[in-house]
Amino acid sequence: MNLRRLVMREIFHRKTNFFLALLGAALAIVCVLATLAAMRSFELNSDALIAKMEADTQKEMKQLEDDIRKTMKGLGFNIYIFPKDQDMSEVYDQGYASKTMPEEYATILANSKIVTVNHLLPSLTQKLEWPEKKRNVILIGVRGEVPLAHRDPKSPLIDPVKKGELVLGYELHRSLGLKLGDELMFKGKSFKLSKAYQERGSKDDITIWMNLTECQELLGKKGLINAIQALECNCATLDRLGEIRAELMQILPNTQITETGSTALARAESRTKAKATAQKQIATAKQHRKQASAERERFAGVLLPIVLLFAMAWIAMLAFMNVRERVTEIGVLRAIGVSSKIILTAFLSRAVVAGLLGASLGAVFFAVIYPLLKERFFHGITLGEVISVSECAWLLLAAPFLAAVSAWLPSLMAAQKDPADVLRYD
Amino acid sequence: MTDNQPIAVKAEGLHKRFVTTEEEVHAVNDVSFEICAGDFVALHGPSGCGKSTLLLMTGALLSPDEGVIEIAGKNPYELKAEGRAAFRAEHVGFVFQQFHLIPYLNVLDNVLIGDLANRSSGGESNGDRARELLEKFNIGHRLHHVPSKLSIGEQQRVALARALLHSPELVLADEPTGNLDPENSEIILQHLADFADDGGAVIMVTHDDRAKAAAKSAMHLDGGEMISSDQQGEKKEGQGE
Ligand SMILES: Nc1ncnc2c1ncn2[C@@H]1O[C@H](COP(=O)(O)OP(=O)(O)OP(=O)(O)O)[C@@H](O)[C@H]1O
Ligand SMILES: [Mg+2]
């Protein structure tokens, strides 16, 4: 005869009481596991959603950047190089620069090893009155493309204007009724109209193109230009203007550059905007997730102690009933010399067994039903991901401990029963 | 016959008072006695005269307010509660009117329950001792039955076997035949007498004349006081011869 046997026999004898205690432990553990699983699966799920959002955004951004890079490469982009002391507001105001720089800047640039700029077009521009025709025109002196020293000669982008010839914008030749080959006088010099442009709907329509050298002579600005236009620049990086500026400043420190509007630029801007929007969305999602997690944690922080308290009170009550039922038995055991320590152990063991067995059954039950509820309540996340084996082991250890704590008072009462009080009424 | 036997229990000037809200009950009033090994004493008297109280005090379960008790030469009330429990396990056996068998243990386990108190003794030899006792009491064939399956008489015999498991010096029985028919009473009384004959001491509370007759001597209690005591056994022996 030993204590284990006594405890086991008693458990089998008073099945209902034991089963109810076991049920309490099982329900408590199921509640704890379900709460943990719900919280964890929610967190894992929202983490995954955010991660996916971030990955998608990143992918989209990368795609966009690639696209833009390609477009930019294909399109190229145009820059203007102006004298350093040129006031840019004046350029934006009147459409061209008034300050001048040496024409040889174009040659210096062309002879440098700079790879980002192409098609260098020096020009001299001035608004003036066409004295012979009494009209305000924009006179541009061009010399065609300056060949780049280190590249294969490319087909010139803009045909130069030959000496003694003029090219007129649409409005000029239309209103004056001029046709190709007509002899024209400009500032007392005779030119032949070599080209008449179609309507462009811009200031080009009142522009006269002239050979640069002749233009310089006419305006008394020999060897000077206002601007160098560089067309179809290539640049792999997105901060292309910065890159070009850095390169250019080393070669031509007395200049400044500006980019003229382009499709590529607009796309780059929209990309930046899209990225900012996506990042804001991700930040909002993260914030929501944080708030929701905190809310759930608060809820669990209230729910779990209540569940535990109920389970413990339940087990304590059942233990108390068990003690009441066994008063005579306790008296007899004490009378024949069984120590109060053994009585205490007997009652505590009962609670411990109920706690351990109940928790184990609860855990097994939860593991069995989890797959059925997974999709509906736990975001389809597997049990192994939300509850670790060691956590489960801790819970299974804690359950008998808490059961023993719950049954402590009734067990102590049992152990301290005075056998004389019990047996006196025999 | 018992004169040269060692003293099993010696009580001197025992008092026990119970103070309730209204009055004080002097349940045992200056009781002294001496019981030797081999004595079988019937303790009788009217209801409420203090028999059970005296029995509990003698069994190291209820400390007297005054007076001294010695069992096997030792005063158990000098021990602390746990020590007294161990003392009971070693020296005293109890038999109750209601048997108080443990309902969920079979006959053998009910007898062996004393092992929980006295774990120094080897389990195997106690198992043999339990079987031997149950065999002797004629319930050896019911070892694995629970008490509810036994007859009343059989249950009391199991309780007696439980009391005798550790071969105590003293057996205290409170109305052991109170619930039994004459035939089963006879069996129990015979076994108690046998125990005394083997050198044990028995104090048995009883109202039953047949039980009184089975005892070798008697103590009469009234109003908590010892009215007469012939526990030296002269009367019985005289009557018996
Ligand atoms: N714990 C107690 N508190 C108060 N009074 C008590 C207590 N125990 C016993 N008594 C009283 O002491 C007296 C003796 O009681 P006891 O049980 O010893 O009588 P008894 O002789 O065994 O009676 P019966 O033959 O009916 O069993 C009774 O009056 C009883 O009410
Ligand atoms: Mg009584």
Residue A54: what pLDDT? 85
Could you read off the pLDDT of B50-88 as tens digits, one per residue? 999 999 999 999 999 999 999 999 999 999 999 999 999
- Using only C-alpha atoms, chain B has a radius of gyration, in whole angstroms, of 18
Measuring CA to CA, which residue among B182, B183, B207, B204 is closest to residue B193? Answer: B204
Starting at the edge strand found earlier in the chain, the sheet holding B225-229 runs B92-95, B170-174, B201-205, B40-44, B217-222, B225-229
Report which of A206, A224, A202 is spatially closest to residue A138, judged by C-alpha positions: A206
Residue B74 resides in a domain: no
- Here the tokens at position B133 are 């006792």
Q: Residue A253's pLDDT is what?
A: 87
| pLDDT at B122 (0 to 100) | 47
- Sign of the Cα pseudo-torsion (A209, A213, A215, A221, in order): positive
pLDDT band at A109, cuts 50/70/90?
confident
A173-198 tens-digit pLDDT: 999 998 899 999 999 999 999 988 88
Whose CA is closest to atom 20 on ligand 1?
B48
For the CA of B50, the closest atom of ligand 1 is 18
Mean pLDDT of A134-143: 91
Query: What tokens were used for A149?
Result: 């020293």
A193: CB partners within 8 A, 6+ apart: A165, A166, A167, A168, A173, A178, A179, A180, A181, A182, A184
Cα-Cα-Cα-Cα dihedral sign, residues A305, A311, A315, A321: positive
Q: How far is B30 from chain A (nearest CA, A)?
A: 20
**pLDDT at position A262, please?**
57
Nearest to A426 among B96, B102, B105 (CB): B96
- Residue in A13, A337, A426 nearest the CB of B88: A337
**A232 SS3 class:** strand
Q: Which residue, chain included where needed, has tokens 């081999």?
A: B38
- Chain centroid offset of residue A141 CA: 50
State the total domains in chain B.
1
Among A99-113, A355-369, B29-43, B141-155, the minimum mean pLDDT is found in A99-113
Top pLDDT among B199 and A276 is at B199
- A281-300 average pLDDT score: 87
Rounded distance, CA B53 to CA A424, Å? 7
> Domain for residue B163, yes or no?
yes
- Residue B18, in any domain of the structure: no
User: Could you list the residue range(s) of the whole structural domain that residue B49 is in?
Assistant: 39-61+79-227
pLDDT at residue B150, rounded to an integer: 95
Assigned domain for B149 exists: yes
**Does B232 contact A at CB distance below 8 Å?**
no
Do residues A360 and A30 make contact, with C-beta atoms less than 8 angstroms apart? no
Is B51 inside a domain boundary? yes
A28, A57, A370, A379, A387 from A382: Cα distances, Å: 21, 27, 8, 9, 9
Task: Kindly report the CATH number assigned to the domain that includes residue B96.
Answer: 3.40.50.300
Question: With contacts defined as CB-CB under 8 Å, which chain A residues touch B115?
Answer: 1-2
Q: How many residues does chain B have?
A: 241
pLDDT of amino acid B234? 43
Average pLDDT in chain A: 87
Q: B205 lies in a domain?
A: yes
pLDDT at B211: 92
| Domain contains B47 | yes
Nearest to A337 among B52, B56, B86 (CB): B86
Here the ipTM equals 0.91
Of A155, A167, A239, nearest in space to A209 by CA: A167
Give me the count of residues in chain A.
Answer: 426
Q: Is residue B177 classed exposed, middle or buried when 0-12, 13-18 and 19+ CB atoms within 10 A define those classes? A: buried
Task: Give A340's contacts in chain B (Cβ within 8 Å).
Answer: 81-82, 85
Residue nearest to atom 19 of ligand 1 (CA): B48
- Name chain A contacts of B52, Cβ cutoff 8 Å: 424, 426
Pairing of strands A77-83, A255-259: antiparallel
Residue B124 lies in a domain: yes
Q: How far apart are CA B162 and CA B110, in angstroms?
A: 7
> What confidence score (pLDDT) does residue A334 get?
94
What percent of chain A is modeled with pLDDT above 70?
A: 90
